[in-house]
Amino acid sequence: MSKITGKLHSGQLLAKRHVTDDAAGYKILLDLLAEYGYTEETPIPVAIETSRGLLVAVLRTGKRRVFAINPMAAARYHDRHSVSRKKSDPGDALVLANVLRTDMHAHRSLPDDSDLARAIAVLARAQQDATWNRQQMSNQLRSLLREYYPAALDAFAAWTNGLCRPEARELLKLAPTPAKAARLTRAQITAALKRSGRKRGIEADTERLREALRGDWARQLPLVEDALGKQMVALLIQLDAACAAADDLAKAVEEAFPQHPDADVILSFPGLGVQLGARVLAEIGDDHTRFADARGLKAYAGSSPITRASGKKSSITRRRVKNDRLNHAGYLWAFAALTASPGAKVHYRRRRDERGDWHASALRNLFNRMIGQLYHCLQHSHHYDEALAFPPPSQATETVAA
């Protein structure tokens, strides 16, 4: 249940209601706002501690401004009213109401993104979560195989994404223990590879896999080995589901993202493909008035450094409060740009060799520069231009001198 509190500019309490998380509760909420002066011309701003969910979707109808107050920021406001650190729903509602009453200018309302951008955000974040879940399940399976089935790890080591490959999962289903793997025939291995979708190099892989699975490896006792095999099959079922979810969501992103008007601009940047570009759009949105300038977007992404000064002491460090998803996408973007953009690679090497940056620091600096360029291109609907993004040193010097 949510507590809704209304306040006048003077701080006077207007109304309190318990709003249930269903259609009846949402109707009570909207009727309450209308009763106390909400119209399309004079919308009542609303403060809430989350930016997602049905309640937020209901509140965002019309021209109402919704402010998602960070719980950490709201916790700091509690000390204005009480130092005992007590917590209750009425107290939280009072704090949120006073945040907008006194400091609305210091907080940013939820961006006015299009419906398509919000749908892409849902799909891109879900695909990212599914990818992380797939990797987690793969790591668990790898750890288990190391305990009793190292032959499988050696056999699949030559494949990219090893255990996540359909060939590896098909073979593990066929032979969940080293004893069963040692008895596999060439025909059985070939059939498993074909079931997984392989069409080329089947004969060579069949021989390599058969030799690796029949190698001389340390073994568990037979009963223990069978038990571990059953545990492995259970993990394999979960990995299959995680792989299917990641693939299905990736296809959904590939269908939705190219339909967005900003997709062409985003995909023109080196290092950004459909999946990574969709993640970037999901976090920055398509409300071009959301950030006043490129510096705001850089701070939001956590790519720009932060200066901490007190008295005679000052330090410049990386940002820890940021959009973690956008920051993660930025690291992958900058890393991929090293092979897709000659200018990006030169910039990275300059940061490493001349400035002495570590790898992560140099990539963060490259991401900081490229996301600033992305902001400019999205504002003016321009595609990426390598010559303008990373001009030769002589040209850059002439530009500065002019």
The full set of domain ranges for the chain reads 2-110, 119-255, 263-401
Residue pLDDT, tens place only, 291-340 = 989 999 999 999 988 888 888 888 878 888 889 999 999 999 999 999 99
**pLDDT of amino acid 88:** 78
Residue pLDDT, tens place only, 43-63 = 888 888 888 888 888 888 777
The answer to whether residue 396 scores a pLDDT higher than 60 is no
Please, is 11 exposed, middle or buried when counting C-beta atoms within 10 Å of its C-beta (0-12, 13-18, 19+)?
A: exposed
pLDDT: which is higher, 64 or 265: 265
According to DSSP, the β-strands at 66-68 and 306-310 are unpaired
Architecture, CATH, for domain 2-110: 2-Layer Sandwich (3.30)
**pLDDT of amino acid 333:** 97
Over the chain, what HEC string results? CEEEEEECCCCCEEEEEEECCCHHHHHHHHHHHHHCCCCCCCCCCEEECCCCCHHHHHHCCCCCCEEECCHHHHHHHHHHCCCCCCCCHHHHHHHHHHHHHHHHHHCCCCCCCCHHHHHHHHHHHHHHHHHHHHHHHHHHHHHHHHHHCHHHHHHHCCCCCHHHCHHHHHHHHHCCCHHHHHCCCHHHHHHHHHHCCCCCCHHHHHHHHHHHHCCCCCCCCHHHHHHHHHHHHHHHHHHHHHHHHHHHHHHHHHHHHHHCCCHHHHHCCCCCCHHHHHHHHHHHCCCCCCCCCHHHHHHHHCCCCEEEEECCEEEEECCCCCCHHHHHHHHHHHHHHHHHCHHHHHHHHHHHHCCCCCHHHHHHHHHHHHHHHHHHHHHHCCCCCHHHHCCCHHHHHHHHHC
CA distances from 108 to 9, 66, 103 (A): 19, 9, 10
Residue pLDDT, tens place only, 163-217 = 999 999 999 999 999 999 999 999 999 999 999 998 998 999 999 999 999 988 9
Token pair for residue 8? 């006048």
- C-alpha–C-alpha distance, residues 108 and 327, integer Å: 20
Residue pLDDT, tens place only, 328-339 = 999 999 999 999
pLDDT: which is higher, 206 or 109: 206
Among 309, 307, 327, residue whose Cα is nearest residue 317:
307
The answer to whether residue 268 scores a pLDDT higher than 90 is yes
**pLDDT of amino acid 124:** 96
Which alpha helices (H) appear in 196-290, and where do they start and end?
202-213, 222-256, 263-267, 274-284
The answer to whether residue 118 scores a pLDDT higher than 60 is yes
CA distances from 26 to 22, 41, 281 (A): 6, 21, 30
Crossing angle (nearest 10°) for helices 294-301 and 324-340: 100
Token pair for residue 167? 């060939």
CA distances from 176 to 231, 271, 387 (A): 9, 39, 55
Mean pLDDT computed over every residue of the chain: 88
pLDDT: which is higher, 25 or 343: 343
**pLDDT of amino acid 244:** 95
Return all residues near 334 (Cβ < 8 A) that are at least 6 apart. 271, 344, 348, 363, 364, 366, 367, 370
Beta bridge partners of 18: 3
Average pLDDT of span 350-369: 94
Query: Do the beta carbons of residue 93 and residue 4 sit within 8 Å?
Result: yes
